[in-house]
Every structure is written in structure tokens, then in C-alpha cells.
Structure 1
């Protein structure tokens, strides 16, 4: 594919070793910095929030929270419910 504008990813880190998850996160970040918009669905909330610009948290198919990923990563509710902190 030449010059894609959007990349859709569905669970790109599922079932992978931690070192591979880290590499996937690096690659997604590189692709984003190159100007490609990315829509990623990911259950690994820690990784997703670390590399995303904006995040939406779904519960039972509804948007439960949305904001800049860095803000959601600091949210006490998100940290307790999705990050196990």
C-alpha cells in the first residue's frame, strides 16, 4: 500500500511476549510520527495509554471515559479499574 493515511489495529499485542509488545509500541509510535493516523483497539490499557494521543474507554459497548491518554492514565478510576494500581 502506498502512502496510507489511516492504520486500523485490532489487539496488536495480544498474546505476545513483553519484549515484543514493547517493540510493537515503538513501531506504532514511529508510524504515527510519520503522519499516519492510527485507530487501535487494545485491551492492554497500560501500553495503549502510553502510546496514544487520545483514548476512549469502553464498558459494555458504551464510552465510559474519553480524554487525552496521559490524563486518563493519571485518573484514579482508570488506574484502579484498568491498570491494576
Structure 2
């Protein structure tokens, strides 16, 4: 691999963290990352419904159907497997 970015605009993208959440109230929320289009590959398949992930621990959190918690937010379930985050 070379040290130069292969796609235009890749130089100003921040590095993807090991643990990232889409909830602005979470300590794992990084606004700079969400200014770009982020993709998640879980067990070899690209998923578009991931709310939170941790690469080192190998899990993602996704909404559980239409179920809501008592504050009106989607109820999340944790799925374990191989996680890969990337910029599209």
C-alpha cells in the first residue's frame, strides 16, 4: 500500500475510529466522520442500518424492527461478527 490516498478528497477525511455511534449524545459520536459517507460491512455484507459499531470487539447495534424505547428512540440489538468500516 502506498501512503498517498487513492481517491480525491481522501486526504481531508478523518481516520475512522474503532468505536463509533450515530447518536449525538453518545461519547463515541464524532461529527467530523459523519460529514462523509461511511459504510459498514458486517460478516461480508454491507449494511445500511447500523447505529453503532466496535471493530475491536466485533459487534454492531441495529434497530430491532419498529420497536421503540420509552423515550421514543429505536430499540437496538447487538449483533456479533466481523466488522469493517470504510468511506464510500
| Superposition TM-score tier, normalisation by shorter sequence | under 0.3
Scaled by the length of structure 2, what TM-score is found?
0.26
Scaled by the length of structure 1, what TM-score is found?
0.27
**Structure of greater Rg:** 2
Relative to its length, the structure with more strand (as a share) is 2
Relative to its length, the structure with more helix (as a share) is 1
